[in-house]
Structure 1
Amino acid sequence: MGRPITETDRRAVRRHHAAGMSRNAIAKKIGRSASTVSKIASSFEPPLSFDRAAEVATATAVRKADLDQRRTEMAHRLHDVAERELGKMTERTLYWEWGGKDHTYAQKEQPEPTPADRRTMMATAGAALDRSLKLLPPKQDPGTEGRSVVGELMAGLARDYVARHGGPPPDADDDQAAADGQ
């Protein structure tokens, strides 16, 4: 059986709780178990609570926001890598080597990298873009946005036609039939 709870323990728990310490921190500070601190806290009227759900929720939200920011920054950096690699594909490239028994140095400049090097650059750029898009997917398909703009334009023209002519615009088939003389 553990040692009995003293009035000193009760005062210490109340004082540390008022200072905002957690149950485990109080237990460590006064040299008692966390369950003993909980027992002491529940003996007060009203009982002392160590419920920190609101604090935990706030801390979790802040942590998620920080991770979102870091993920966004990483996605931008990966896009930069991809652009840099794609830019190298058409730049002049210096190739060099050490060789021979005399360890001679030779270099050659070419207008573009070799096909093998270009393939490597393309793979690097593709991997960087792929990871970037996984970290930060596009918010909306650009084609969808373009279609919605055209749709809104057509709807606006139809409303304007109704306002001017008092009825819906004729169908394209009706226009073609009138042009054919039917």
Structure 2
Amino acid sequence: MPGRQLGPVTDEVRAEILRLHAENLSRNEIMRRVDRSARTVTETVHDAGLTFARSAQVVAATNARQADNKDRRTRAVQRLYDRVERIQDRLAEDEYRYQHVTHTGMVVTVSDEYPPASDEKHLAGAVTGYLNAAARLEAIDAGTGADDALSMLGALAAGIARYAEEDTGGEG
């Protein structure tokens, strides 16, 4: 907090910073609560041989989030396939029913052996869209593209965490 004159950091302030750190509060939250700069909070924590690295917690939270998202994708894919099957079942019926607006503005229900070309075209487009969306979602969990990128980012994050540990003497 540039330009602020808060005076020297007392033992009481240091103790409060370390107490809040022990409660797993973030650096920013500790700064707000003790009304001190990021530098003061960081130096106090580092002088006590501690860090703000929470890599194990971050990994656990990330893994939980990824599992939740995978479950969501699985359910979404199933719904997409259900819609495709409903459309295909409708087209496979012996009689195709649809509503048509006459030139006088009346809505009538029409039964025919086949759907009108425009319906067939729209339904085929919907099926194609649903199948493409399902394939894209399934590819995420099949390790094509997205998993490779996540793996690379995970390796990068692990490397940064190792570097930070080495930089702080392996404590924290």
Tell me, yes or no, whether TM beats 0.5: yes
* Structure 1 residues without counterparts, runs of 5 or longer: 140-182
Alpha-carbon distance between aligned partners in 1 of 2:15 and 2:57, rounded to the nearest angstrom: 25
- Whichever of the two has the greater Rg, that structure is 1
Alpha-carbon separation, structure 1, partners of 2:64 and 2:115:
46
1:64 paired with 2:66, answer yes
2:122 counterpart letter in structure 1: T
The one of 48, 56, 64 equivalent to 1:54 is 56
* Contact map agreement 1:27 1:34 (CA 8 A) in 2: yes
Would you say how many aligned residue pairs link Structure 1 and Structure 2?
135
1:40 paired with 2:21, answer: no
The aligned runs of 1:14-163 (5 Å cut-off) are: 14-44=18-48, 47-91=49-93, 92-100=96-104, 103-137=105-139
Q: 8 Å contact 2:99–2:107 — kept in the other structure? A: no
Unaligned stretches of 5+ residues in structure 2: 143-172
Alpha-carbon distance in 2 for matches of 1:61, 1:8: 38
Q: Are 1:10 and 2:18 counterparts?
A: no
User: What is the alpha-carbon root mean square deviation over aligned residues?
Assistant: 2.2
1:6-50 per-position Cα deviation (integer Å, ceiling 9, x unaligned): 222111112112222222221111111222101111233xx2222
Aligned CA distance change for structure 1 residues 104 and 61 (closer, same or farther; 3 Å): closer
Q: Give the TM-score of the pair, scaled to structure 1.
A: 0.65
CA deviation string 1:103-152 (max 9, x = no partner): 5454432233112211221121122112111211497xxxxxxxxxxxxx
Whole-angstrom CA distance in 1 between matches of 2:81 and 2:127: 8
Equivalent pair of 1:90/1:111 in contact (CA under 8 Å): no
- Pair 1:12–1:114, CA change in 2 (3 A): same
CA contact under 8 A between 1:82 and 1:128: conserved in structure 2?
yes
The percentage of aligned residue pairs carrying the same residue is 28
